[in-house]
Amino acid sequence: MVADFAAFSDRGVHIDQDCDPLFGRNLIMLRGSRWRTMRAALTPAFSASRCRSMAPLMAVCARNLHIHLRERVRQDTELDVDEISTAYVNDVIASCAFGFATDSLQDPHNCIFRLAKRAVVQDTTQIMKFFGYENMKTIMQLLKVKIIKSSDAEQFGELFKSALRARRGGATPRPDFIQTLVDAAGKTASGAENFADDDLVAQAVLFYIAGYDTTANLINYFLYEMATNPTTQEKLQSELDQLPGSQEDKEAYDNVQGLEYLDMCVCEVLRLWPLVGAADRRSVARYDFGPSQPDGNTHFVAEAGVHIWLPVYSLHRDARYWVDPHQCDPERFSSTNKHKILPYTYMPFGTGPRHCIGSRFATTAAKVFLSQFLRHYSVSGGSSRKLDPRAFILRPKDGFTLTVTPRNNNI
Ligand code: HEM
């Protein structure tokens, strides 16, 4: 992933843009020099300063959602937190990547939310398509099997291109992904502006493909761990209670960055539930791992084209590296303890040049939501720890229903 990246620079499953013109163009699927150029062009859109400017957009989404949530909790305290987190993450991505305002808890039928749910569906058919591309690539290519339906791809394209046209035509600037692309035009020789609009649409849809289920489930698992670890929840709420009563949206990034215990809890939840349970690479050149036995002459060699899985979930729960690995203990990530973590035993966002480009965006979005939510509500209940065996992204088998109780802190 790091030192020998040159030999393992591709991901395991590749879907060509000739087969799926939208999915095949996204950064995850790209290879070789096309990946390198796109990665370099997109990196500024995920920088700390870009996340700082997008955090107020996230804060608006969180605030809108809390207004409806207050009503819901008055009627029923048993809530499916997945419904809340997916609505919030949809609003964040619609606003930050597509420049659209949506209010998905109030209006779950908005067109971008419907498209998003279809694009990231994890049903048996979708899993079979990836299995097909892994094992019967030629047949899949001949049949041009698409991950994203053509009609959905067209709608995504229309939405994004209409926003892009408006911004290029001088519409009021917003600190979002589209603006980064428009502002970059003319500034550099290798920036995103040198790509066709279809390539840019694919990167906006990437927020849904890579960022929707992952970020929503980070929020879900976070609330689930708080519900089952009340002492941790109380300690976090004491930290949140120190925040000023009314907060300016423009300070959203600095406010959440200053919350040390929240960060420790996010890191611990990502250790227990790394969402992407295994990262992968494909060898692009013959690679010698060295002797397969300490004293043996036989070498363990991967020829070019071998698909390798990196077991992130297992590493995160291995008793050789973590004391009490199944226990939620945010103190592992305190400033005094975190340097004790062995390199490469903790990698919820992967590592090396192909690590997750959206990690800062995802954690900022989750923290903006969680800091507001847990200031106003406490969660309890939640007993399922079984994983859904069919899901790409970790999710519990029995859903995410929790009891949500308003706190009496007059905020
Ligand atoms: C909690 C949320 C998230 C988690 C846990 C997560 C995790 C991961 C992991 C484990 C990888 C593989 C890294 C590797 O192979 O070394 C990855 C790749 C990637 N992620 Fe995320 N991700 C999250 C959110 C996001 C978001 C919001 C985006 C926004 C666009 C995003 C975009 C990507 C992309 C583009 C890649 C592929 C990078 C490349 O191949 O160059 N992710 N993510």
**What are the domain boundaries of the chain?**
5-406
Average pLDDT, integer, range 223-250: 92
Mean per-residue pLDDT for 369-389? 88
The predicted pLDDT at position 410 comes to 53
Structure confidence at residue 411 as a pLDDT band (50, 70, 90): low
Residue 188 confidence (pLDDT) above 70: no
Q: Which residues contact 164 (CB under 8 A, 6 or more apart)?
A: 178, 181, 182, 197, 200
- Pocket probe mutation, ligand 1, options 11, 96, 356, 364, max atoms within 8 Å of Cβ: 356
In the chain the first and final C-alpha atoms are separated, in Å, by 46
Q: What is the dihedral of CA 84, 125, 274, 66, to 10 degrees?
A: -10
Q: List, in order, residues 6 or more apart from 282 with CB less than 8 Å away.
A: 8, 10, 11, 12, 14, 305, 306, 307, 308
Residue 193: band (very low, low, confident or very high) from pLDDT cuts 50, 70, 90: low
Q: Which residues line ligand 1 (CB under 6 A)?
A: 1, 27-28, 39, 206-207, 210-211, 214-215, 218, 275-276, 279, 348-352, 354-358, 361-362
The answer on pLDDT for 16 being more than 90 is: no
Residues 119-165 pLDDT 10s: 887 778 888 888 898 889 899 988 888 998 889 999 999 999 999 99
Residue 395 has pLDDT above 90, yes or no: no
Other beta carbons within 10 Å of 248: 11
**pLDDT score at 123:** 78
In this model, does residue 171 exceed pLDDT 90?
no
Å from CA of 359 to ligand 1 middle: 7
pLDDT value at residue 254: 92
Quick one: average pLDDT of 320-334? 98
Mean residue pLDDT across the chain: 91
Percent of the chain topping pLDDT 90: 69
Question: What's the gap in Å between 410 CA and the centre of ligand 1?
Answer: 38
Q: Which atom of ligand 1 is nearest to the CA of 218?
A: 1
pLDDT mean over 245-253: 84
Tokens 């995103």 map to which residue? 192
Residues 6+ apart with CB under 8 A from 212: 86, 89, 90, 93, 116, 120
**Span 42-71, average pLDDT:** 94
pLDDT of residue 392: 81
Q: What is the pLDDT of residue 192?
A: 58
Mean pLDDT of 207-231: 95
- d(CA 332, CA 347) in angstroms, rounded, equals 14
State the closest ligand 1 atom to the C-alpha of 279, by its place in the atom list counted from 1.
15
Averaged over 194-199, what is the pLDDT?
84
Indicate left, alpha or beta for 243 from its phi (over 0: left) and psi (-120 to 50: alpha): beta
The CATH number assigned to the domain with range 5-406 reads: 1.10.630.10
Residue 366, pLDDT above cutoff 90: yes
User: Please, what's the b/e burial string for 53-89 (b: 16 or more CB within 10 A of its CB; e: otherwise)?
Assistant: bbbbbbbbbbebbbebbeeebeeebebebbbbbbbbb
> Which residue has 């996204």 as its token pair?
26
